[in-house]
Amino acid sequence: MSLIIGMAGKGGTGKTTLAGLAVRYLAKVGKVPILAVDADSNANLADVLGMTYDRTLSEAREEMKSSVGNVSITKDTLIELRTQEAIVEGDDFDLVVMGQPEGSGCYCAANSILAAVLDRTLKNYPYQVIDNEAGMEHISRLTSRYMDIFYVVSDASRRGFTAAVRIWRLVDELKITIKHKYLILNRARGEVPQDVLDLIQKENMVLAGIIPDDLNIYETDQAGQPTSVLSENCPAVAKAMAIFQETLVE
């Protein structure tokens, strides 16, 4: 049985760090193998996981789109080959980076083939963590429209929460089938404003938890280190792990 986990949030909310911690939690409890998918055009998940990559799926798509007239290899074979080349293998988890969104011109055929290949690839991994950008362009165009668990990550400010509400609604507009959808308030300093809590209730959002601002994460990020170096005693890590333990159910 597969477990597909998605995350989205505007920049600066700590969404990618939480995606990395979700991968760490799954590996810790033996839910492997895992495929970490960086579907944010501003790709940072590799840094969080302590990995490097040489190729993205968007580069493969561009290559396929420009290979008109090349009869030495079919487009299906080319994208299959490039997709496998784009997967970075680790111990408990692998990584694939989607890359930049489409450029000019029509990508319909390229996207169709890439979507089919990616869907076949994803089936090899019973656990998937997908780090999306706020607009979720890659999710809406390239991957299957289904997730078991979806987290909308926001900071605890009124402005950040407003962006989270837009993402929450966007999921419904994209007609993505989601079994469980949660809000995580991240990087909270002190008490969450009551007006934000009132809006959560008004929007019928399910609050999975509130994660405190943690200097340990900031210092780790500034040092260019992966989240794996963070102790589980760190307040933010401990709270994130508790949230995942409560909500990551198959």
Q: Average model confidence (pLDDT) for the chain?
A: 86
Whether the CA torsion 196, 198, 202, 204 is positive or negative: it is positive
Which pair of tokens denotes residue 120? 């076949």
CB contact at 8 A, 146 and 4: yes
**What number does CATH give the domain 3-247?**
3.40.50.300
Provide the pLDDT for residue 95.
95
Rounded to an integer, the average pLDDT of 172-177 is 83
- What integer pLDDT is reported at residue 121 of this predicted model? 83
Measured distance CA(250)–CA(245) in Å, rounded? 11
Q: Of 240 and 66, which is predicted with more confidence?
A: 240
Q: Is pLDDT of 186 > 90?
A: yes
**Sequence spans of domains, the chain:** 3-247
Q: Could you tell me the pLDDT band of residue 182, with boundaries at 50, 70 and 90?
A: very high
- Say whether pLDDT at 242 is over 90: yes
Burial of residue 132 (number of CB atoms within 10 Å: 0-12, 13-18, 19+): buried
Compute the average pLDDT of residues 89-97. Answer: 93
pLDDT at 103: 62
Task: Of 49, 6, 26, 7, give the one whose Cα is nearest residue 230.
Answer: 49
Work out the burial of residue 57: count CB atoms within 10 Å of its CB; fewer than 13 is exposed, 13-18 middle, 19 or more buried.
buried
pLDDT confidence band for 120 (50 / 70 / 90): confident
Confidence band for 153, pLDDT divided at 50, 70 and 90: very high
Assign 179 a pLDDT band (cuts: 50, 70, 90).
very high
Q: Beta strand 93-97 with 88-89: parallel, antiparallel or unpaired?
A: antiparallel
Whether this prediction's pTM lies above 0.95 is answered by no
Segment 19-60, tens digit of pLDDT: 999 999 999 999 999 999 998 888 899 999 999 999 888 887
- Predicted confidence at residue 80, as pLDDT, reads 83
DSSP 175: T
Q: In this model, does residue 214 exceed pLDDT 70?
A: yes
User: Is 71 within 8 Å of 12 (Cβ atoms)?
Assistant: no
Looking at the predicted structure, is the pLDDT value of residue 134 above 90? no
Rounded to 5°, the CA angle 125-127-129 comes to: 110
Q: pLDDT at position 219, please?
A: 93
